Structure 1
Amino acid sequence: MTITTTYAEYVTELAYDDLPEEVVDYAKKLTLDAIGVSIGARSRAGSSDAFVDGVDSLADGGEATVFATGETLEPEYAALLNGALVHSLDYDDTHRGASHHPGASVIPAAIATAETVERDVGGEELLAAIVAGYEVNCRLGQAVDPASHYDRGFHITATCGTFAATAAAGKIAGLDAGGLANAFGLNGSQAAGSQQYLANGSWNKRAHPGLAAHSGILAARFAEAGFYGSEAPIEGEDGFLNAYSDDPKPELATEGLGEEYELYRTGIKPYPCCRYMHAPLDGVFGILEEASIAPEDIESATVEIADPGIELVGRPAERKENPQSFVDAQFSMPFGVALAAVAGEATVDSFIEWSDGYTEEFGRIMRTTDVRSSAAVNEAYPEMWCADVTIETAGETFETHVEYANGEPENRMSWDDVTEKYGDLTVDLPSAAADEFLERVRSLEDERVEELTAPLLAESRNEAVADD
């Protein structure tokens, strides 16, 4: 069988009862995290007003919930908006091996489709679709070879997310294996996402998984209608792997499929910035706390991370040492070091506050932070996104090594950790609505999708405000 047909059969045959208990539990954590981030992004991300207004100008009613606003739209537009908001704070989940963010396309596509199919979809079916989407997303991301894919200028969250959103939406829609393979065929003409956003800190990146979720639902709808898609869109001569990579590894696309779960190898972020900054930030915070170092004591800092991370958060040094926007700050390791030292935290609000303007001390720390690579961290990559951190003061040198950042599968965030993050992100949601949604996610396998999203609807929020 081809990769395409293997994926199609796996997705359509996967049942909730096939899933290990820990995978189900983690899928619920990832769902809560993604939706919490989308709600938090509505008021905190500068791009949100424009994106919401743009989608509203295209869409006019529907039955799929926009998590952050409580409005309902047609499923493809709800998924578009939800997917973009999930990614707008760069605070969403990350798969280390695929070097991308799988949930931002999969979860919005699955939920929007589940809310709008003719039958009543239960939580077990939704969870199976989410897991299926993650498995396609993460395996395809590894198979396209992230380093090669990035070198060619593609954003892997966007490209692989299109196939993954199609898997999740197609499963909920009830496509058979042939229909889903046909839907994947349409993805060959939809999978897109350019990294040119890094040139000026633009908002394109935030839109990418929303566009992928939108495309996934469109592909499923077209396949349902009998539209004829490309054959072998993943493995073909001009298919995804060969067209989007100089060094594809097709064997990774199906390795362990149905036996191991890449969803369970996905990390949850404690900081709203590029994942390559997380292990270094853990190291910086550890040194600062242990040695009681004040900002003015820091003479220099050195961060060593793997080469792919250098390209995202360390170069060009002139721009990384002088970020001009929130997006710039999220991809600036020097900014992260200075934020940890001066603000003593790395929260959404502190990233936004300090990216709007920083003090002379803050700027000095950025300029004296050296971001580089080493043989040791490169040898560990991609199995480990580790970091070596050194901070120099007048007369003393402090060093630490971080193997796995907080939130990685080897250092998982607990339900309490994820719930605390969710609470920080949903302060604009009435507490009664936020609490009710949290409880429904925790018991998702016993809920109907209609019940799951009910607390997020505008009328429910209004009732919750009255109750509060």
Structure 2
Amino acid sequence: MANIVDALADFSANTQFEQLPANVVQESKRLLIDSIGCALGGLSHPKGTIGVQYARLMGAGAAGAQASILGTGEKVSTVAAGFANGELMNALDFDSILPPGHVSPYVLPGALAVAEAAGASGKELLVATAVSHEMSNRLGKSMDYLRDIKDGKVSPPPVYGYASTVFGATAAIGRLKGHSRETIAHGLGIAGCTVPVNSHWAWSQHAPATTIKYTAAGPMVQAAMAAAHLAEFGHRGDRMILDDAEFGFRKIIGSTRWEPQHITDGLGSSWGFPAEQSYKPYPHCRILHALLDCLYQITEANDIKPGEIESITAWVEGFVMQPLWLLRQIEHVTDAQFSVVHGLSVGAHRVPPGKQWQSPDVVFDPSVLALMDKIHFEVHPDYEKLLSGHAASRPARIEVRARGQSWVGEKRYPHGSPSPDPSTTMSDSELVAKFVRNAEGVLSPRAADEAIMQLLNLEQVSDVASVIKLLSP
């Protein structure tokens, strides 16, 4: 029986576009539209612009300027472009969610840069997108998860992060560079030994938190780029890195659980990521989204103004009782992505969801900051029961008091998540509208419309570089 790395290499090298189910093709298009839109929006955020600055420092490299920094019209090396675009995609925390957590900003930037440089077809980019997300989801299922339930209680792991996405990122790069199955296998083996550490818990426990967040996308993309290229140049990887539970990748990144059957069972014939792929209608940590759905509904239906609000009480997911989410002193715009009370205050001001949520004018608006003092939250009493009942559960309850009256809203599944309630799925038209909002001020309306049309029909595109060109101002 082939080891896990070899099985993943086979999957990466041998999957053909014609084998992809229709829903996998469609979800891959949706991911590209959403992620590229988030990158364009990220140009308004310091995390994104810092990523661009660092990419400029890396420059064209020995091979010359081959790949674009999205939304800028600038070309740099593929490694530099991958770094910048990863940071741009993740800057607003507006990017999609797939267990083990954030995936797209780690696996797509390298693929986009290599696809552009290689003149790859749209079909090849769609295959790379599908393979990288499916692989990441499977690896996530094999190890600890932030919302694991043990004996009926939420049991967060002692070490957590998104390091496992490096395999999907490396596979996508190798596939688009035309690497053999053997070379892809060595790239995966190298990736597992050189990946950045899982730093999620340090970030969430220390306030003020680092602005690179849970796992910086740029360095993760660079790790995947290095692994794929080192294999191409002749380095040998550790092809046992995913089979050895005692000394291998599981131990390296600190996972206490190891269920490798989730990686290989049905690999290539069964695709799981489309059913678990979530999208964000708000540029804020996903834990707040169901609450924001309820809050917007209450304030808009009753035309409640911020100055009329006497108090807001929210019941939230249990694991957010950590310094990061409890934060009330906002010092940097990135703090606003995770503070529960700040996010609810912005929502109560009915600021249209989009990149403007994290503009300094909104983040430090005196009215937004003042309302935070009237917002309180505690753990939802049924959080664990509802989570164990369905993995997509994000139970939320909110009470708004204003004008001497009280309004209550409750929701189990936030908008943007696939769930037993079909209405929670974010439609194609909603994702397109989100792209347009993120592209405002970066692309002309005509260029944005043309880029969307090309992405929606990506399987008909002969050269991805023609699509990337549309994303330059």
Aligned pairs (5 A) from 1:303-452: 303-311=314-322, 314-315=325-326, 320-353=327-360, 356-359=363-366, 362-381=368-387, 382-393=391-402, 395-410=404-419, 411-427=424-440, 428-447=442-461, 448-452=463-467
Q: How many Å separate the matches in 1 of 2:468 and 2:364?
A: 38
Question: Residues 143 and 301 from structure 1, CA distance in 2 versus in 1: closer, same or farther, beyond 3 angstroms?
Answer: farther
Deviations 1:383-409 (A, max 9, x none): 312322222346543222212211112
Q: How many Å separate the matches in 2 of 1:308 and 1:404?
A: 17
Q: How many Å separate the matches in 1 of 2:395 and 2:456?
A: 32
Q: Secondary structure at the match of 2:164?
A: helix
Q: How many Å separate the matches in 1 of 2:189 and 2:311?
A: 52
Q: How many residues align?
A: 446
Shift of residue 272, structure 1, vs aligned partner: 0.7
Q: How many Å separate the matches in 2 of 1:133 and 1:63?
A: 22
TM norm structure 2: 0.87
Amino acid at match of 2:452: L
Taking only the aligned residue pairs, the percentage that are identical comes to 25
Amino acid at match of 1:84: E
Task: Please state which structure has a larger fraction of its residues in helix.
Answer: 1
Q: 2:186–2:237: 8 Å Cα contact kept in structure 1? A: yes
Q: 1:336–1:346: 8 Å Cα contact kept in structure 2? A: no
Q: 2:199–2:215: 8 Å Cα contact kept in structure 1? A: no
Aligned pairs (5 A) from 1:181-220: 181-192=185-196, 193-195=198-200, 196-198=202-204, 199=206, 200-205=208-213, 208-220=216-228
Question: Residues 175 and 309 from structure 1, CA distance in 2 versus in 1: closer, same or farther, beyond 3 angstroms?
Answer: farther
Q: How many Å separate the matches in 1 of 2:42 and 2:434?
A: 13
Shift of residue 211, structure 1, vs aligned partner: 1.8
Alignment match, 2:56: 56
Question: Residues 356 and 365 from structure 1, CA distance in 2 versus in 1: closer, same or farther, beyond 3 angstroms?
Answer: closer
Shift of residue 326, structure 1, vs aligned partner: 1.3
Tell me whether 1:224 sits opposite 2:227 in the alignment.
no
Q: Secondary structure at the match of 2:426?
A: coil
Q: How many Å separate the matches in 2 of 1:365 and 1:113?
A: 47
Question: Residues 241 and 263 from structure 1, CA distance in 2 versus in 1: closer, same or farther, beyond 3 angstroms?
Answer: farther
Alignment match, 1:81: 84
Which has the higher mean CA deviation after the structures are superposed, 378-387 or 164-173? 378-387
Shift of residue 328, structure 1, vs aligned partner: 0.8
Shift of residue 261, structure 1, vs aligned partner: 2.8
Shift of residue 301, structure 1, vs aligned partner: 2.3
Amino acid at match of 2:140: G
Alignment match, 2:94: 91
Deviations 1:40-92 (A, max 9, x none): 211x1023333322221122242112212122222111111111111011111
Q: How many Å separate the matches in 1 of 2:248 and 2:310?
A: 51
Segments of structure 2 that go 5 or more residues without pairing to the other structure are 149-154
Tell me whether 1:276 sits opposite 2:287 in the alignment.
yes
Shift of residue 221, structure 1, vs aligned partner: 1.2
Deviations 1:393-452 (A, max 9, x none): 465432222122111123222222112111111122233332222221111001021322
Amino acid at match of 2:357: S
Q: 2:333–2:359: 8 Å Cα contact kept in structure 1? A: yes
Alignment match, 1:241: 250
Segments of structure 1 that go 5 or more residues without pairing to the other structure are 462-468
